[in-house]
Amino acid sequence: MSMRLSLLLTAATCLAVGNPLQAAEVQVAVAANFTAPMREIAQAFEQDTGHRAVSAFGSTGQLYAQIRHGAPFEVFLAADTSTPARLESEGLGVAGSRFTYATGALALWSADAELIRDGEQQLRGGNFRHLAIANPKTAPYGLAATQVMQGLGLSEALAPKLVEGQSIGQAYQFVASGNAELGFVALAQISRNGAITSGSAWPIPAALYQPIRQDAVLLDRGADNPAALALLTYLKGERATAIINRYGYGN
């Protein structure tokens, strides 16, 4: 970590006790799988620091393209490690600011509480018309889903049934609306405190896909914004970590 970044983060930590006279706003690009926890974190962040986090949600690939084209984001919470690293190498991310804020998990989900009894056998049986998936080219959770299908030897058999969303949020909506009987979603979208909140699900064994490590990076536009620096510090703190864990993420 550079000396400049270290000093800035130290200053942000001091601000994190909350001084309304120094409150600022930060524009945050957030991977769609992290929508619900980020909304909670943003509320807690404002309560505890006085700073306000304004979030935009989408697939990691879509958000990366927006950042490259000048979108005014100051912090990026991606769903992978490679995209923040790329931004850093391209001079759009602050060197040394990257860290893993969450490790995600994938699930097979149906809005029908009775449908999924044995997730693997459900996929192998093929007794459904549509299977939702996020675009594997832009959404890391979509890529993880393709790894699951490959690992089970089902890529060819399931290909005609796939319904592709641009983000994991859209894949979730396909299932929630009934347009797809099943879908690969983020476990965080359907569980709280270790329990499935609706429908039926198969938390997919981690051995079937590469770990979904999600990195945060301070973007160049936010380098001098105290709210951006404070948010990165806050994400590592106890209150944010508790929220993240409640949604089923690892650290």
Any idea where the domains of the chain sit in the sequence?
3-103+211-246, 106-203
Percentage, residues of the chain above pLDDT 90: 90
Q: What is the pLDDT of residues 30-85, one digit of tens each?
A: 999 999 999 999 999 999 999 999 999 999 999 999 999 999 999 999 999 999 99
CATH 3.40.190.10 matches 3-103+211-246: yes
Query: What confidence score (pLDDT) does residue 251 get?
Result: 76
Please check whether the two domains, 3-103+211-246 and 106-203, share a CATH topology: yes
Please give the model's pTM, rounded to 2 decimal places.
0.88
Q: What is the average pLDDT value for the chain, to the nearest integer?
A: 93
With a CB cutoff of 8 Å and minimum separation 6, the contacts of 101 are 77, 214, 215, 216, 235, 236, 244
Task: Measure the CA–CA gap between 219 and 134, rounded to whole angstroms.
Answer: 25
Residue 62 is classified by DSSP as H
CA distances from 74 to 30, 92, 117, 218, 227 (A): 11, 10, 43, 6, 9
Q: What is the pLDDT of residues 78-133, one digit of tens each?
A: 999 999 999 999 999 999 999 999 999 999 999 999 999 999 999 999 999 999 99
CATH of span 106-203: 3.40.190.10
CA 26 from chain center: how many Å?
A: 18
CA distances from 192 to 87, 172, 185, 199, 242 (A): 32, 16, 14, 13, 12
User: What confidence tier does 23 reach under pLDDT thresholds 50, 70, 90?
Assistant: confident
What does the block give as tokens for 71? 């979108």
| Contact yes or no for 155/113 (Cβ under 8 A) | no
Give the pLDDT mean for 143-161.
98
User: What confidence tier does 247 reach under pLDDT thresholds 50, 70, 90?
Assistant: very high
175-204 burial: b if 16+ Cβ within 10 Å, else e: bbeeebbbbbbbbbbbbeeeebeebbbbbb
